[in-house]
Amino acid sequence: MSKPIPNVATIAGVDPSGGAGVLADVKAISALGAYACAVIAALTAQNTRAVTGVLPIGPEFVALQIDTLLADVRIDAVKIGMLGEAPVIATVAERLAHWKVERVVLDPVMVAKSGDALLASAAVGALREALVPLALVITPNLPEAGVLLEGRAPDNLKEMFRAAERLHALMGSGERWVWLKGGHLAAGDATDLLFNGDRMTELSQPRVDTKNTHGTGCTLSAALAALLPQRPDVPAAAKAAKAYLTAALRHADELKVGHGHGPVHHFHTLWSNAAAGLPERR
């Protein structure tokens, strides 16, 4: 008997351009063979160049979305992205603990690709104290790691090793993983570190030369959430998620979306296969 298709939920903000946030998450989850559900934590006015406004969703309504969804739908993994404010962070942590969600991927979204802030500075402590210990995997990039550790961002591989160890110490007991993303390093391959408190693994892929990198963090964490129920362990899911993102970056220039940092191509495999079976356009 085949395993059921996993149901994967994203809890994040909405980017109207579709490159990041909930819309990007839904694309990545769907492309990787899982059924996507979503809880909206914030609305943004955003395109490929700037975030011009953020409208938070009240914590009571975020809680109602989570409770209504999980009361009916089996959720096999949850990805958490932009939450924006401390009360929403506390609410999400409390409701996920109530529902005993086992596979939680936390992408500690703080700044958009445009440089605009997506997390209130007062909410960083709430993120560190309420959500980091709840997650199975956290996926900070180097600037986010610096903020979580209340210091400067690591700027070389040696500093990344130490940061991964310190980040893991912030997490809860049991199986917990830090996926520290090294894309902000100045040169070389895109090398990340995956650490579970015992084993440190380097995940490397060739760096892709494209300006279309909007939503890479959202896409990677959503891909991981989609793959965790489909792979034997976290390292296997992480390797597959990184390979998927690298291919989506490699095909990103096939899309023409906006005039700033455009999105990655979430459906690079599906669209090419679908087009091959379509009649020629007249």
Q: Give catalytic residues, as residue numbers.
A: 181, 213, 215-218
Residues 210 and 251: their CA atoms lie apart, in Å, by 9
The b-or-e profile of 65-78 (16+ CB within 10 A means b, else e) is bbeebbeeeebbbb
Q: Are 7 and 204 in contact (CB under 8 A)?
A: no
Q: What are the two backbone dihedrals, phi and then psi, of residue 177, each rounded to the nearest 5 degrees?
A: -130, 140
Q: Which two tokens stand for residue 106?
A: 């936390």
Among 193, 194, 211, 192, which Cα is nearest to 249's?
Answer: 211
At how many degrees (to 10) do helices 21-31 and 216-227 cross?
40
